[in-house]
Amino acid sequence: MLRFYNDRKQTFECKIKLQGSKTALKEAKVRMVFEDGNVQRFYKGTTDVLGNCVVELPPLKEMENKTGECVLEVRVDDIIFEPYRTKYVLEESKMHITEAKVDDKVKLIKSTAAKEDVVIVKEMLKGFNKLDSKNKKVLYEYIDLKYKPSSKVRSWAKKVFNDLDDTKTKIVMYEVENIFINKK
């Protein structure tokens, strides 16, 4: 019994051997047939000279029945062979989204910002994102209530950020000031 999915693409692969024919395997016509109640669905495949057979299947969402029979048909010299026949089960794949992360840096940073400034911003935000929630909260409160950037940092930030009053912008300005300006 084979398992197929109704919500994603999949590939059926096998190896076939051909004896007693003058036709090369590469020229054989291959298709996978799904018997779905009174309806048959056909999906073309390919073979190569070594007998490798591949049938690319789309998501099988149009299938009405969850179970049935599928057949691999090979046509050589106007004769159809069925080298493989089995039952199938149609399921949904087990894929689920476990996390979705929105990258809001695109809105934060100006499109005209220099590449090296963008790298600095990303590094500063990486460091901030590694903090635990308690330390993030303390840093947010300090930056929102008490932090006033120097004129050098403000002039740099005007070239890089869309909104100088955004909390993440202030966090980066604070880090830049601590690392680059106060060390001089």
Which domains are present in the chain?
2-91 (2.60.40.10), 105-181 (no CATH)
Segment (H or E) for 42: strand 39-47
98 pLDDT above the threshold of 60: no
Structure tokens at 181: 């300006």
Q: What gap in Å lies between CA 31 and CA 54, rounded to an integer?
A: 9
101 pLDDT above the threshold of 50: no
Residue in this structure with the two tokens 């903090």, named with its chain if needed: 131
179 pLDDT above the threshold of 90: no
**Is 56 exposed, middle or buried, given 0-12, 13-18 or 19+ CB atoms closer than 10 A?**
middle
Centroid of chain to Cα 1: 29
Summarised one tens digit per residue, pLDDT across range 22-62 is 677 778 899 999 987 788 899 999 988 888 889 999 988 88
Summarised one tens digit per residue, pLDDT across range 122-168 is 777 777 777 777 777 777 777 767 778 888 888 888 888 777 777 77
Summarised one tens digit per residue, pLDDT across range 119-129 is 777 777 777 77
104 pLDDT above the threshold of 50: no
